[in-house]
Amino acid sequence: PPYVDIGMCVNETYRRRNIGTHIVMKLREYCRENGLIPGASCQSSNVASKKTLEKAGMVCVDRVLDIEF
């Protein structure tokens, strides 16, 4: 299946206005209309990004571990 990675970056001046959520929702809509399967990721410490993705309908299904030596 055609998986795609989606994401957004919102300038600090415009954060906390649901702009990121709107962007992700529009990207998901585009994917559905074009037969694509969207995926997204963020650092586990980035709580705001995780909340934004979840508000836009994304669901956490995996966890990536960052291992340092």
57-68 mean pLDDT: 83
| Rounded-to-integer distance, Cα 29 and Cα 25, Å | 6
Q: Please give the pLDDT value at position 49.
A: 92
Output the six-digit token pair for 16: 């906390």
Residue 38 CA to residue 32 CA, distance in Å, equals 8
Segment 24-32 shows an average pLDDT of: 96
How far is it, in rounded angstroms, from Cα 6 to Cα 55?
Answer: 15
Our measurement of the distance from residue 32's CA atom to the centroid of its chain's CA atoms, rounded to an integer in Å, reads 15
- Segment 3-25 mean pLDDT: 94
User: What does pLDDT average to over the chain?
Assistant: 91
Res. 50: pLDDT tops 80: yes
Beta strands, E only, 1-69: 3-5, 37-39
Q: How confident is the model at residue 33 (pLDDT cuts 50, 70, 90)?
A: very high
Task: Report how far apart the first and last C-alpha atoms of the chain are (Å, whole number).
Answer: 35
